């Protein structure tokens, strides 16, 4: 096995002009390589990609948030079945839509309170739908619909705005992506009296030496971000743009910037049992959904054979786990093959052609030859 066999996949995408550059980090049976190609922006005079290049890692922030929460549970500072309303009264009395696509006024009372577990498993009833309807329009109008650039409002404003919206289903009776993890970080801040950034630094980033991971990027090292359009790549955020400034609030759904090496460090630490106890690691990386909850998850988020743990996607048949970010990032662990694979690009995922699966397949094929 040679790592060159792995890098041929992203190298081909880079050569085809799909993205200006990338940085990958792979561990195969203890052997590690970090590989960079291309530049941090489309301009010919932009800086070359390197191991220190930062990326907006988007939703691969979520497993880090899951690990943070589980470390707090281990120390008895919060409980999975704690009701979130004790810290966030804005979420105390939600209404529930009779019809997910119906008018916002046609609701019934919630039959149970939302818990920390509901937020971690994305089963609270708040979240992102895939087709236009009154709830989606209201989320956009109120500034709480997911955005690659985060949210401009404060955390308190986000809680108030989301709390004023109805749930799509009764708490614990379905699965909806994204919003619950935004709420999770805000609940933690109120419960612990400290910012998410401080808690992450103390319990995850600091112990693992992840000095390049933060909620604010370094414009001298941050790659430009792009969205694919018919005419080519459209600039979404320059290195000195939105992610070079403090966000409206620090959120665990997708707010971090990081490097390929730091992401590899985190996923390796979980895989090796370095950061969490065995029970917490199992909770993070194994199925946490009931059949009813799993059945309601859109295939675009959870493909057949996959499910959701307490903060990350899981492939049930193999035990592989990990997640991808809409900004063009992906990270996964396969315990059978003893691999950890990270690929960071600056091309937003806009459809099936942007799937990271060919990269992960290349890692698996290379590992099989060892």
Q: Are 119 and 268 found together in one domain?
A: no
pLDDT at 147 over 90: no
Which of 128, 160, 192 is the last residue before a domain boundary? 192
Tally of CA atoms within 13 A in the half-sphere of 349 that contains its CB: 20
Distance CA 294, CA 123 (A): 10
| Cβ contacts of 362 within 8 Å, gap of 6 or more | 5, 6, 8, 9
Quick: pLDDT tens for 77-117. 999 999 999 999 999 999 999 999 999 999 999 999 999 99
CATH number for the domain that contains residue 221: 3.40.710.10
Q: Are 289 and 160 found together in one domain?
A: no
β-strand pairing of 107-109 with 95-97: antiparallel
Quick: pLDDT tens for 13-45. 999 999 999 999 999 999 999 999 999 999 999
The residues that bridge with 339 in the sheet, in sequence order, are 28, 334
Q: What rounded mean pLDDT belongs to the chain?
A: 97
Q: Are 130 and 172 found together in one domain?
A: yes
Q: Smallest Cα–Cα separation from 151: which of 137, 161, 163, 164?
A: 161
Q: Are 165 and 20 found together in one domain?
A: no
Q: Are 48 and 99 found together in one domain?
A: no
Angle at 234 between CA 129 and CA 303, to 5 degrees: 35
Which of 130, 165, 192 is the last residue before a domain boundary? 192
Which has the minimum average pLDDT: 70-74, 231-235, 275-279, 339-343?
Answer: 231-235
8 band by pLDDT with thresholds 50, 70 and 90: very high
What is the percentage of the chain residues whose pLDDT exceeds 70?
A: 100
Q: Are 19 and 96 found together in one domain?
A: no
Q: Are 169 and 229 found together in one domain?
A: no
Question: Which residue range is the domain that position 128 belongs to?
Answer: 77-192
Which of 167, 192, 217 is the last residue before a domain boundary? 192
* SS3 track for 215-277: CCCCCCCECCEEEEECCEEEEEECCCCHHHCCCCCCCCCCCCEECHHHHHHHHHHHHCCCCCC
- Answer for the pair 11, 19: CB distance below 8 angstroms, yes or no: no
Q: Are 185 and 198 found together in one domain?
A: no
Quick: pLDDT tens for 232-247. 999 999 999 999 999 9
Q: Are 357 and 293 found together in one domain?
A: yes
Q: Are 128 and 262 found together in one domain?
A: no
Q: Are 114 and 175 found together in one domain?
A: yes
For range 248-271, the mean pLDDT: 98
Give the pLDDT of residue 1: 64
Domain count of the chain?
2
- Spell 8-25 as b/e; 16+ CB within 10 A means b: ebbbebbeeebbbbbbbb
């Amino acid at each position: 096995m040679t790592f060159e066999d792995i890098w041929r996949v992203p190298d081909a995408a880079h050569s085809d002009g799909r993205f200006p550059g990338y940085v990958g980090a792979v561990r195969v049976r203890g052997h590690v390589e970090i590989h960079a190609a291309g530049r941090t922006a489309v301009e010919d005079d932009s800086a070359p990609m390197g191991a220190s290049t930062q990326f907006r890692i988007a939703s691969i922030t979520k497993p880090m948030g899951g690990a943070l929460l589980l470390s707090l549970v281990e120390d008895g500072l919060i409980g999975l079945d704690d009701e979130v309303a004790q810290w966030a009264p804005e979420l105390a009395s939600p209404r529930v839509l009779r019809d997910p696509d119906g008018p916002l006024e046609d609701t019934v009372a919630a039959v149970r309170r939302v818990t920390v577990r509901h937020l971690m498993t994305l089963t609270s009833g708040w979240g992102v739908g895939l087709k236009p309807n009154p709830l989606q329009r209201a989320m956009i109008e109120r500034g709480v619909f997911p955005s690659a650039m985060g949210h401009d409002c404060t955390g308190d404003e986000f809680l108030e705005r989301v709390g004023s919206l109805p749930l799509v289903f009764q708490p614990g009776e379905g699965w909806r992506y994204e919003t619950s993890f935004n709420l999770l970080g805000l609940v933690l801040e109120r419960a612990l009296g400290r910012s998410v950034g401080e808690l992450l630094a103390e319990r995850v980033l600091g112990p693992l030496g992840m000095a390049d991971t933060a909620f604010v990027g370094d414009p001298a090292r941050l790659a430009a971000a792009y969205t694919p359009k018919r005419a080519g790549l459209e600039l979404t955020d320059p290195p000195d743009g939105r992610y070079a400034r403090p966000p409206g609030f620090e959120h665990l759904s997708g707010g971090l910037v990081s490097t390929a090496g730091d992401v590899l460090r985190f996923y390796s630490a979980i895989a090796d049992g370095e950061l969490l106890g065995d029970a917490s690691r199992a909770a993070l990386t194994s199925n946490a959904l009931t059949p009813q909850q799993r059945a309601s998850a859109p295939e675009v988020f959870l493909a057949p054979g996959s499910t959701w743990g307490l903060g990350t996607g899981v492939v049930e048949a193999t035990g592989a786990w990990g997640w991808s970010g809409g900004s063009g990032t992906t990270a996964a662990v396969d315990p059978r093959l003893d691999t950890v694979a990270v690929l960071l690009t600056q091309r937003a995922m806009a459809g099936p052609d942007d799937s990271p699966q060919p990269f992960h397949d290349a890692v698996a094929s290379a590992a099989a030859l060892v």
